[in-house]
Amino acid sequence: MNAKIAVVLSVIACVINIIGLAIPYWRTCSMKLKEFDFSVGSNYGLWIFCGYVDAPNRSFRTCSAYDHPEITSSTNGILQARYIELVASILVVCSTIMGLVQTVSHTPKVLYTKPSGVMCIIAGILALVGCIVFATTNIQLQVSTYACHYHAGFALCIVAGVMSLVSGVLYMLARKNTQDYYNTPLI
């Protein structure tokens, strides 16, 4: 039973991690000047930076990828977090596929889910490390009048990392006798 729960958890963690990795809402910053009815803000993730200005008569929104020529520099921390999260996503996808195959088509005597467990644990650790690297990155957008906070993509990758750790532990604890319903006594 542990392996089946681990497969479900790792599938959910895989989807959540990919969504969190893709969306540009890792951190948002905004400032509103009430006396002028004017607001300005930005949100960014691992791939793209978006900014907006809302004024009474017009508004302006734009997004640019970090490798776009107009953006002269992206911090190394964002690039490092991106690569760490990419490796974590690849590992959780591989461990999910391996765990699914190993759980569904196991041999009659042995259940081989330990490699999937190790990969899931490593993926979970990397997902959390990627979030830590992103959180400790010094972004030049830090202006004292801006209200900045971490957003959905950041939180999704933390949740996916924790779920990967839990599914990895469940893969490691899975035994043949927890999978075989035909050999369990009915009484």
pLDDT digits (tens, 9 = 90+) for 55-95: 888 888 888 787 766 655 567 788 889 899 999 999 999 99
Query: What's the distance, CA 108 to chain centroid?
Result: 36
What is the reported pLDDT for 73? Answer: 58
Residue 106's H or E segment, with its range, is none
- Domains of the chain, residue spans: 2-23+74-178
pLDDT of residue 157: 94
Q: Which pLDDT value is given to residue 120?
A: 94
Distance (Å, whole) CA 36 – CA 146: 16
Residues of the chain where predicted confidence (pLDDT) is lower than 50: 142, 178-180
